[in-house]
Chain A
Amino acid sequence: MRWTARTRTGIACAAVALVFTAYSVRLVDLQIIKHQEYTQLAAEKHTMLKVLHARRGLIFDRNGELLASNLPVRTIVADGSHIKNPAALAKLAAPYLDMSEKELCAKLNSERKYIVIRRGLAEEKAVALMKAVQDANLRGLISEEDAVRTYPNGQMLGHVLGFLDHDGIGIQGVESTMEKSLCGRDGYRYIEHDRTGREIMLYRGQEEPAVHGLNVRLTIDMGLQAILEEELEDAFKNLRPEMAVGIIADPNTGEILAMTNRPCFDPNHPGDGKDDQKKNRAIIDVVEPGSTFKIVVASGALNEGKVNERTSIYCENGAFAYGGKILRDHHGYGAMGVHDILVKSSNIGSAKMGLLMGPTKFYEYVKRFGFGDRTGIELPGEIPGLLSPPHRWDKLTITRMPMGQSIAVTPLQMTMGMSVIANGGRLVAPQIVRSVEDSDGSVVLAKPPKIVREVVPQKIARFVSEALTGVVGEGGTAQLAKIAGFTVAGKTGTAQKVSPNGGYAQGKYVVSFVGYLPQENPRFVCLVMLDDAKVASNLNYGGLQAAPIFSRIGERAARYLDLVPTLRAEPASPLASRGEKMERTN
């Protein structure tokens, strides 16, 4: 068959048309049908989400002294898909990363796109490393911005500030409770990069800037904190107690001005501290308060009209049989008024006031003073203490609780309980966060003082306060708490230590003193507590061990706060002559 020219032309055209149709089909397939798939594939290969890290907020004391800041560091990451010569890269980078060449090479020998090589590398080292890598024309190492939290004062205030975990989340102290304010919100940016991994800025995609964390201002005064830390450290070294707690608070506002514990730890290196050292014992440890608790029964009995300023209570000459047990005072006393019961710290007098009130009313006052409930301070892990309701009390509880047994309280509760007497009868909520501020210093959230309730009228509080002045005066149990130039009010506590095996541990005592000054217009209330100080048993009293520490702290604090003396300043008499009249109250 012979094809005509027209036929041949037609076949040629059809062939060409077929080829072009095939191309067109493929184009439609690539550009339209598989568009989504290939776009995604390209995006996966070249686009990445870059996290814009938010800067964590700073923490200041009440006067603006920096307590927690951020130190910029770098995280060195490797992209295995870009590494052509792992050995050369390892040889170059190992000295900068403080790693062995072999170890680094093993890490780099991978096809993974995100291998964390080293966290927390100092800024200068990271910059020098990246420059060296660039100069050597090697690829595959990326330096990412990061930061570590630093606490310039080291151990000082460690329990209050807390620390962060490996992910930068606060897990203790203010760092934990104020996490939401401090952490801020990370931003993001979609970027495209070239085959060497460098960002192609022209194709920068959607972006949301980071919102930096807010700054937190504490109620802590670092001047007072330094005084408290120094004195408690001395006591911890000299008396070697198992633990020591010190708190200074403003009784009128509830602001915590200083708070410290021993043993302690450095929040810059939390991993080096033992669990025991990291406990903020001011809020998570409970102790029997001992005689410091007598202010509760005295205030309650006076307010309920069970006793008055002139009521005389017979103190059984030092031995009171009740509930099949003998309750003793260290010295035998006859009839005494409420004032003297507090000054002499009579157990029997306190027990009798408890009996006059009855379990229900006494329990009500214990609760009104804030015991058995969390204070609500902005610190994590606070416990409410141990306080059983009256229906679970045995027959002896009503005589033991007024003198600080059969109840367990936190040192902070004890401090706030004493603040009730100091401020004229109001229970104020303790607070450690003063305000939350933005980077310009504008207050975002102010925390005003909070009065929880009126516990007793001002008249009753003043009467008890006068009696507590007598505790520090001649014939009182805490003469060593005196501060020349000021009227000091306070109460000692000497409680037998509860044994983990039940009952009381022989020869082990928790001694404390909680007081305030000036008594006429208290500026601060201070608690000092020592658990099992290693001193002779006949010297292990609140009045002998804790009171002198209080005196030194109070004296320095008065100077620091520039308090005007209310009394003629006289040097205190020697310590030795004062020990004779001290007494253990349980």
Chain B
Amino acid sequence: MNTNRRKQVNPVHLSSLIRWLLIAAFLGASGLCFLFIKNQQFALAEEIRQMERKIANVRSMNETLLARVTELSSRSVLQRRIADGFISMKPIQDNVIARLTPPVQATADGVLRTAFNEGIRQ
């Protein structure tokens, strides 16, 4: 009996075992890779989202500053500042103008005027 049983021991099919182990390992690795890539995708997407938000913020700040610069350098603000005496403008003297059109006589104060009627203004 014992002799027969020893003769009937089931052999381990190594090749089959290895094949299944490899399949299991492949499947496991695939799953892990899938998870890793998916997590990486999420992380990268989150980075992109944060970056987009930062860009949008910078763009908004830039536009805000541009709007302020435009407002502060607008004609009406500059005119008000001239009137308030914060900035001043000097009339252009005749001798610093190069003209292509026929020359016009400057008045006694040296200021070039193509037209004048201050007499009426007073």
Contacts and interface: CB of A to CB of B under 8 A. Distances in A.
Contact of A226 (B42, B49, B56, B79): B79
A71 interface: yes
B35 interface: no
Contacts of A286: none
B61 A565 contact: no
Contacts of A51: none
A131 to B, nearest CB: 11
Interface residues of A, number: 48
Given A145-B60, A201-B48, A152 B71 contact: yes
A195 to B, nearest CB: 15
Contacts of A150: 67, 70-71
B7 interface: no
B75 A69 contact: no
Interface stretch (A105-113, A389-397, A482-490, A491-499): A482-490
Contact of A156 (B59, B61, B76, B114): B76
A71 B46 contact: no
B95 interface: no
B117 A552 contact: yes
B29 interface: no
Interface string B84-122: 000000000000000001101100000001111111110
Interface in B21-57: 41-42, 45-46, 48-49, 56-57
Interface stretch (A2-10, A34-42, A424-432, A571-579): A571-579
Contacts of B114: 485, 558-559, 562-565
19 contacts: A66-B70, A66-B74, A69-B66, A69-B67, A71-B63, A71-B64, A72-B60, A150-B71, A152-B70, A152-B76, A201-B45, A201-B48, A483-B117, A484-B117, A485-B114, A554-B115, A559-B113, A569-B105, A569-B115
Interface of A: 65-66, 69-72, 122-124, 127, 145, 150, 152-156, 198-202, 222, 226, 230, 480, 482-486, 548, 551-552, 554-555, 558-559, 562-565, 569, 571-575
Interface of B: 41-42, 45-46, 48-49, 56-57, 59-61, 63-64, 66-67, 70-71, 74-77, 79, 101-102, 104-105, 113-121
Given A150-B71, A555-B115, A564-B101, 6 more contacts: A71-B67, A200-B42, A200-B45, A201-B49, A485-B115, A485-B116
